[in-house]
Chain A
Amino acid sequence: EVQLVESGGGLVQPGGSLRLSCGASGFTFSTYAMSWVRQAPGKGLQWVSTISGGDDSTYYADSVKGRFSISRDNSKNTLYLQMNSLRAEDAAVYYCAKKGLAVTGQFDCWGQGILVTVSS
């Protein structure tokens, strides 16, 4: 059974940093593209970032480009999202999601989500 478990969320001040982690199990982690998708309170889903399973190519939404960095450690079956220069509008539940073999694939499995609050 595929399982994705996020951790590392919490309260951070504007301008601060936070690193989210997503532990994966139940599939060959290194093979698949992985993504982060967020959902602000009461709002819709917003794609944040994707990393490929092969050459570790990375992709970012314009709203986070230059501030967020996605990475993966295939030896630990873990996906990361380093978030710097956080803004109030980054506050959201962040979901880790597994994609298909290609970065163009659908999000076929999601974690339970982790809350990030940005406030002074």
Chain B
Amino acid sequence: QSALTQPASVSGSPGQSITISCTGASSDVGNYNLVSWYQQRPGKAPKLMIYEVSKRPSGVSNRFSGSKSGNTASLTISGLQAEDEADYYCCSYAGSSTLEVFGGGTKLTVL
């Protein structure tokens, strides 16, 4: 099972919006509404930010939103803040054999 494809890096200025894409296949992202997104700050454990494509866990800022079109999922962060600087990973359910596949991760830099 191939990893999902994410851009290696994205950047934006405070207050701007950015979008991180996550491209998979019809066997994972395209076939299930089970895409999740994780934020990982340096030296820390990942944190769930979005699940089931567009749902936000309690406590996660509404500046974070998710969507999906075909085989590509997206994470949008609006009103960028310095604290958003981190690595972001997408993950998709990929069926009962492989179960999960992660993206390679995207480093977000807040300029």
Contacts and interface: CB of A to CB of B under 8 A. Distances in A.
Interface in B81-108: 89, 91, 93, 96, 98-105
Interface string A39-80: 000001111001000000001011000000000000000000
A83 interface: no
Contact of A106 (B1, B40, B52, B105): B52
Nearest to B1: A62
Interface of A: 35, 37, 44-47, 50, 59, 61-62, 95, 103-113
Given A44-B105, A62-B1, 19 more contacts: A35-B100, A37-B46, A44-B3, A44-B102, A45-B105, A47-B100, A50-B99, A59-B96, A59-B99, A103-B99, A104-B32, A104-B34, A105-B51, A106-B36, A106-B48, A106-B51, A106-B91, A107-B46, A109-B48
Contacts, number: 57
Given A106-B51, A106-B52, A45 B45 contact: no
Contacts of A110: 45-47
B101 A47 contact: yes
24 contacts: A35-B100, A37-B46, A44-B3, A45-B38, A45-B40, A45-B89, A47-B101, A47-B102, A50-B100, A59-B96, A61-B98, A62-B1, A95-B45, A95-B46, A103-B99, A104-B32, A104-B34, A106-B48, A107-B36, A108-B48, A108-B57, A110-B45, A110-B46, A111-B45
